[in-house]
Amino acid sequence: MKQYAVVQHTYSEFLGLIEQHLEKRDIGFNYFRPFVGQDLPGSALQFDGLFLLAGRNPALDQATVPWFEHELNLVSIFRRADRPVVGFGAGGLIVAAAFGADLLTEPRHTASWTTARITEAGRGDPVAEVLHGRRVLSLFEGDAELPQGIEPILLADDGRWLGIRPDTGSYGFLFRPELKPGMIEDMIMEANRDLPDNIGELLAEARELWPEMQRLTDDFIVALVKSLDLMTERRKAPVFSLKVE
């Protein structure tokens, strides 16, 4: 069975809408939660790929994200093992950093609905093509200055990057295809969470756009599966039992 590692940064933010798409394709997933002290995997050889999810703090904030360097290393581990890597929000910034981007702690919040626009670098990319002209929710903390050699495949209305594909097996996204309105509600209820001032407006629009959000995620996952060949199970290292009979 295909099995993906998923790094989760808050209880409120999980694979959400994407879970059902993976399950119906017989793709399993294991959550790793460093924010409660759980270790990240030390190897990619028991998994078919890696998802890095969003979080409540800028990825570069070492006081609140002390495992940041471990996640950077994890991206490298998975790519050296030829396993696909996908990041959303803070996870997208970590993917960018793993390929040489400079992370920033400001702006504290980027929170808006925007229209995704394909770039010349995105032409022919299945994910960029299917998202072009679609309304997406951009929600993350901090930012990343992309290095020379990495061009965005998607831009927001204001020209900020929304998506990158730094190599053939990796994507970093600053929009949130996994979010459901209920997840935004959970974020609002999360204790001591610093939220953007317009979070209520974002939630109201998410409720209004819920049918389209589901269609967008459907199309996004189909394109992602095609682009990264997610239906192909990678060769895994055997697991040996040390039990002596």
Domain ranges of the chain: 2-228
Dist. CA 94–CA 109, nearest whole Å: 16
Give pLDDT, residue 1: 77
Residue 119 confidence (pLDDT) above 90: yes
Cβ–Cβ contacts within 10 Å for residue 168, how many? 11
Residue 55 confidence (pLDDT) above 90: no
Global pTM reads 0.93
Residue 156 confidence (pLDDT) above 90: yes
Q: For residue 49, with 0-12 CB atoms within 10 Å meaning exposed, 13-18 middle and 19 or more buried, which class applies?
A: buried
Taken in order 228, 75, 134, 120, the sign of the CA dihedral is: negative
The SS3 call for residue 80 is helix
Give pLDDT, residue 188: 95
Residue 192 confidence (pLDDT) above 90: no
Give pLDDT, residue 66: 83
Lowest-confidence segment of 34-38, 120-124, 216-220, 224-228 by average pLDDT: 34-38
Give pLDDT, residue 116: 98
Give pLDDT, residue 110: 94
Q: What is the CATH number of domain 2-228?
A: 3.40.50.880
The CA-atom distances, in angstroms, between 209 and each of 18, 136, 187, 215 are: 17, 10, 19, 10
